[in-house]
Chains A and B, each alone.
Chain A
């Protein structure tokens, strides 16, 4: 059930009414949240309800046990927390990577001259498993780090794990930020809710008017790259990061908006990534809830472990972290290479001490970005687009063939997709980001007046209704 479908609209209206009837009765609201979340997840894939239910019950008890150990014996607590984290990760590893490991081993053995007759079997990955698994792992590790106590209220905990706006593709909320919200009266102040509506509509706009439309062009080129040359492939490569941004930030904004309508603050996921001056800054602005998670649970422990190695230790920690980011997207060498490519781009930044430096944009006359900053933004964008070419490809050989195809000549221009609509919509998106980045007072998402008098919102909805694509299309990040 996509957020931009009629079915979801009806589902949400039912939820919204029932949920707010019980205003100030937190426990009942958590029950409603839990039931609707399981309903939402069950409609998508009924078979997977037992997986999430069993994992939630298991992690609930693991959390209590870890807390018990933390109070008595630190060493035992550490060991038990590691064991718990691995236990939480096992289903993800099985569903997502099992065939990949078997295939890779079989290939390795046959390359070494051994005869292998290992066959893999069809494993269907449960939707959203990468996202709720990360919520569970975060929960057990935070208790062990004494940053929070184990949750006693099972319904609140289960609602946190299965929270329907975020279960399919994030943002990945942290337990210590999200659970306390389920224990208090939900926010219902006017600007909080109306900004939720606006964030939802804004996300809907970037998804259907930009991502879906642009996707038609990008898919047509990348899926038939043999028919095109440097011109179309070059344009598709340059458009793909924007398509991803419009799609994934669109999804995230819709999830944040829905969360707000339930009176809950969902984690931020994007902060105008294409204003980044270098790749390190790009990762502080792109898919923030995932990179923040990995920074805390992969990068920091590695960086601490390797701390006596100086820059070499830092490089190792960064590269391992980014390769993990890559493989998190799926079991394919293209994702691993995507991560490695980014990791290697960090090396010059680490050696020059620029990795964590905040690269401030100089605004000429208060509203124009300086040419040096523009150049750095452009270069960063090109590097990101190149890495995403591998990310988008079916296999490493397909990625290299696509690149090789560019050297066969300019080729013809691909004529698929409503270019005028997505280009116009894209200009609106970039203008909004420009205004937000420049800290200009004007922001599309802020609202003081009644919603039905908000002209920007009304114009946006009319625009969406007229110019959206014909079919409801899946969000890219659902597959991860």
Chain B
């Protein structure tokens, strides 16, 4: 799966979970850029992404992401 495809699928998940259709994600987006993205919705997002892509992250992976780009890289590695 191409990274751009992953990004658009993840964007859909964000819009769905955070209930905001205007969200546009890029590789450099962080939680500071989206108001609804806090420590609680972060976990909901992870659960939704894991379910959607049928993957499982480790705690250390989740805690090391600095932005959306690093999360996408992580998903892409899991799918490869």
Contact = CB atoms under 8 A, between A and B. Distances in A.
A300 interface: yes
A145 B39 contact: no
Contacts of A356: 38-41
B47 to A, nearest CB: 5
Contact of B66 (A74, A147, A307): A147
Interface residues of B, number: 13
Tell me what chain A mostly uses at the interface: helix, strand, loop, or mixed.
Answer: helix
A314 interface: yes
Contacts, number: 35
A304 B44 CA distance: 10
Given A145-B64, A301-B59, A308 B47 contact: yes
Contacts of B66: 146-147
A307 B63 CA distance: 14
Contact of B59 (A147, A305, A308): A305
Given A146-B66, A147-B66, A356-B38, A74 B60 contact: yes
A307 B64 contact: no
Contacts of A301: 59, 63
Interface in B21-80: 38-41, 43, 46-47, 59-60, 62-64, 66
A78 B64 CA distance: 11
A299 B46 contact: no
B47 A300 contact: no
B47 A307 contact: yes
A355 interface: yes
B4 to A, nearest CB: 24
Nearest to A305: B59
B62 A304 contact: yes
A304 B63 contact: yes
A304 B40 contact: no
B40 to A, nearest CB: 5
A307 B39 contact: no
Given A307-B46, A307-B47, A308-B47, A355 B40 contact: yes
A146 B59 contact: no
Interface of B: 38-41, 43, 46-47, 59-60, 62-64, 66
Interface of A: 74, 78, 144-147, 295, 299-301, 303-305, 307-308, 314, 355-356
Q: Which are the 9 A-B pairs with shortest beta-carbon distances?
A: A356-B40, A78-B60, A304-B59, A145-B64, A307-B43, A356-B38, A146-B64, A145-B63, A307-B47
